[in-house]
Structure 1
């Protein structure tokens, strides 16, 4: 039973790592698609609330590119932490240090929650009012990813008995 639990934790972390890998890949290979998301969210041009919140909008393409690059960089770090965590857990599958070997995966999952919760739900959704946009709201995808990462984090952090 303990080996099955450990393997399930490795496989779930590998699923998160693969998901993150695909996100980074897509953001690099199809840069423009999600760059447009950043542009529209930060410029607040689809919220329909220009009078009250226009002062929050950012209209500088350089800031959009920096923000998008930072998002991709954080996603890449999440990917590296999770894949490295998978390797550490795998190599400690039969050892006494399995619980301690989860450290990097836990950090990757935490960073993922921070990104998708804070950046997409908090900053994008609330500061830039993306919840008012019908076409450029990342709140639901952000919620789904943050929730899945959080559930995986809860399960992974439990000690095996």
Structure 2
């Protein structure tokens, strides 16, 4: 029972974290919008000559990308909340392992978002690793790692 409760609480923590990220992105929209703008426009990488052709200078695209990120974070939060709730309902029965499916999907999407979008696309394609002020690789790595560790832990079947 302790392991089941531990797994459930970690999923709920991921849901809560994701909800806070969505909340902050909505109530302070301009702050992280600036991150997306600067990363996509590559205006702080100092590498405009060799890789400048990758830059996106269209504010409509910046808004679209930022809104897609917020939408993905919202889906992650919802899947983790629903998955965590299903896990709570099944703590004391044999369906617990099967009840983790939505949480597994939410955590997987979280790993993909923070690893692929923030470390891969932002960090490598748009060279955010070269920016002193708009580099989201370390935060992306931290979140992706925590989500992946949680995913690996809860995916194990209980004995």
For the aligned pair, the TM-score class normalised by the smaller chain equals: over 0.9
Paired residues, what number? Answer: 159
Q: Please state if 1:39 is matched with 2:56.
A: no
Q: Which residue number in structure 2 is paired with residue 160 of structure 1?
A: 158
Which residue of the partner structure matches residue 65 of structure 1?
63
Q: Distance in 1 between matches of 2:84 and 2:107?
A: 12
Structure 1 alignment gaps of length 5 or more: none
Aligned Cα RMSD in Å? 0.3
Paired residue for 1:48? 46
Runs of 4+ displaced beyond 6 Å: none
Summarize deviations over 1:7-56 as a string: whole Å, max 9, x none. Answer: 00010111100000000000000000000000000000000001001100
1:47-70 per-residue CA deviation (whole Å, 9 max, x = no partner) reads 000100110000000000000000
SS in 1 for 2:96: coil
After superposition, residues 112-127 of structure 1 pair within 5 angstroms as 112-127=110-125
Query: Where do 1:1-161 residues align within 5 Å?
Result: 3-161=1-159
Residues in 1 aligned to 2:8 and 2:30: alpha-carbon distance in whole angstroms: 33
Give the match's secondary structure for 1:99: helix
Q: What CA distance in whole angstroms lies between the structure 2 residues aligned with 1:69 and 1:33?
A: 13
Which TM-score applies when normalising by structure 2?
Answer: 1.00
- Cα separation, 2, equivalents of 1:14 and 1:156: 12
